[in-house]
Amino acid sequence: VADKHFGTFLKQKFVSRVSQKNLKQLLEALKYPVTEESISKRVALLITNKTFDGYSTRHGAEKDEYEMHCMLADLGYDVVKCRNLTVKVIEEALQKFSKHPHLVHTDSVFVVIMSHGSLQGVCGTDCKPFEIENIYKSLNTQNCPALHNKPKVIIIQACRGDEAGLVVLPDEDLAKTDAVVHKEKDFISLLSCTPNTTSYRDESYGSYFIQYIVEIFKEFADVDHIEELFRKVMQRFEESEFGEIQMPSKDRCTLTKNFYLLPY
């Protein structure tokens, strides 16, 4: 009887181990692969426009640039940093970035653009709009196969209009293969505000959007995936004094797995 019970115990233990192994494999399959080697090959593009040929100077932009650069570097990204670019030069910088030699070996990329903006796009220093659509085109599978099946994280700090985000409602109204693949996949974007509204910036400390991103990523990047990090940035705005006038917006997410910036 004792031998029978011991045999049952061993069987249960074996099944438990197999189940734990399968569970671990399943969880790994739900994540984008990240290794120490791929982290060492990470690369990011950071574009900061501060002065313009017709618009006001973005005082505090240098603070945003510094904080974002430090955050990306801490996450293992080699940051390609550009300042005060016209629309044409932004396009050239993006094209050059799409051919960066590290893209073959990296596990992901960040593209961060901070400037004035409108619903039509992000402003170059020549005050012409650079369409965010061009980022997707430059880094999609068709034009940048080196980033196939790799997360491409886009962060845009810019106004998307001049309307206030605030609205007051009456109480009663509160409520890897040669097979055919999709050319645009594994993107996620976080824009600093919703369409037609304004994004706010402190002239001494920089934009609240970048401040909150850095704050959240520093605290949670080692435990949360990118979509959860973005949700927490949005929640941070909701809980702040700016929640009534500005709300970041996730856009065009085609991630098929969870992307954790740091392996655990």
Residues identified as active-site: 116, 159
Q: Are 114 and 69 spatial neighbours (Cβ–Cβ below 8 Å)?
A: no
Alpha carbons 37 and 32: distance in angstroms, whole number: 14
Output the CA–CA distances (angstroms, integers) from residue 152 to 25, 106, 124, 174, 254, in the order listed: 24, 11, 22, 37, 10
Compute φ and ψ for 113, nearest 5 degrees. Answer: -125, 130
Query: Which of 173, 176, 212 has the alpha carbon at shortest distance from 64?
Result: 212
Query: Which of 199, 213, 203, 182 has the alpha carbon at shortest distance from 242?
Result: 199
Alpha carbons 258 and 22: distance in angstroms, whole number: 18
Q: Which residues of 222-236 are buried (b: 16+ CB within 10 A; e: fewer)?
A: eebbbeebbbbbbeb
Copy the structure tokens of residue 242. Answer: 């700016």
Q: Is 68 exposed, middle or buried (0-12, 13-18, 19+ CB in 10 A)?
A: buried
Q: Around Cβ 4, how many Cβ atoms within 10 Å?
A: 8
Output the CA–CA distances (angstroms, integers) from residue 97 to 80, 82, 205, 233, in the order listed: 8, 11, 29, 27
3-class DSSP assignment, residue 132:
coil
